[in-house]
Amino acid sequence: MRMSYREAVRAALHEALVADPRVFLMGEDVGRYGGSYAMSKGFYDEFGPDRIRDAPLSELGFVGAGVGAAMGGMRPIVEVMTVNFSLLALDQIVNMAALYRHMSGGQFSVPVVFRMATGAGRQLAAQHSHSFENWYAHVPGLRVVAPGTVADARGMLPAALTYSDPVVIFEHVGLFNAEDDVEEWRCDLERAAIRRPGTDVSIITYGGSLPKALSAAASLADEGIDAEVVDLRVLRPLDRAAIADTVRRTHRVVVVDEGWRTGSLAGEVVAGIAEDCLYDLDAPPRRVCSEEVPVPYAKHLEDAALPQSDKIVAAVKEVTHA
């Protein structure tokens, strides 16, 4: 069945609401408006205001309400319009939801799913365009995932709803209109996925950078360089075994991350490679990250600030010619 990333998320939300009366959706404009990205369009009329709850412009307030509802036995799906605004709710996510199981000695769980739009590429300027996945992946108690394909956009939400602890799902705004044929979408939230096998170099990435990595791999193939593309998918916990396996196959690696280079998830991946399989490398790893600036509004500057296929190609040629 062919569907878009947006339609895949919507189908997953609808299925969850139908299957479990404890599930409800809460966030800004998710009700009568149908969602900022049209992912809950029609849900308000179908499920009513008790289960499709429009929230005020107070991330700290409604995210906290979602945490409390989860502790009370509900299965809330809390939508944060953009990851930048989630910083207003960091206390509830990082200091509350992530810690309750530990601080209660296992007496309490917080089965809440936080969905956040992330990333740049649509000229939404700096306050709506950053990638803070690594900030959340730093926190014990959270499971952090980033669906980079239509199938994962369909399958990760139902998988997240099986967990008794908080799950953060990052949905990249640049993927919402992407389409693909989806036959099998069920997935776990444990393992990375090889999206393109290869023998010469590993390109490791996630989320909105995945299509760029695949495009770069196609261009490299025309030049005789066989690149393997690994989609991390799960950012906490990282699938370090899959990362080590691909490095041992290809002996060269480029990590692509839309976050800034300083303190990036790419840096964590490279550090893990150094710890687990340093002597399998035939060249130093390379990172392709966003430039160290707030994401610009102007299209040509936004494009220049972000990882792009040509930058990935150049990095791969550096490591393959080393």
Instruction: Point out the residues that are catalytic.
Output: 59, 128
Question: SS3 of 59, please?
Answer: helix
Q: Per 3-state DSSP, what percentage of the chain is helix, strand, and coil (rounded to 5)?
A: 40, 20, 40
Neighbour order of strands in the sheet with 23-27: 52-54, 23-27, 75-80, 113-118, 167-172, 143-145, 234-236
Residues near 299 by beta carbon (within 8 Å), at least 6 away in sequence: 123
The span from the CA of 45 to the CA of 31, in Å, is: 8
Secondary structure (3-state) at 145: strand
Joined tokens for residue 320 = 């393959």
Q: Which of 227, 201, 223 is nearest to 214 (CA)?
A: 227
Residues whose CB is less than 8 angstroms from the CB of residue 258 and which lie 6 or more positions away in sequence, other chains included: 119, 120, 131, 207, 208, 209, 289, 290, 306, 307
In Å, what is the CA distance from 272 to each residue of 111, 205, 278, 280?
Answer: 29, 14, 9, 13
Closest CA to 208 of 143, 87, 295: 295
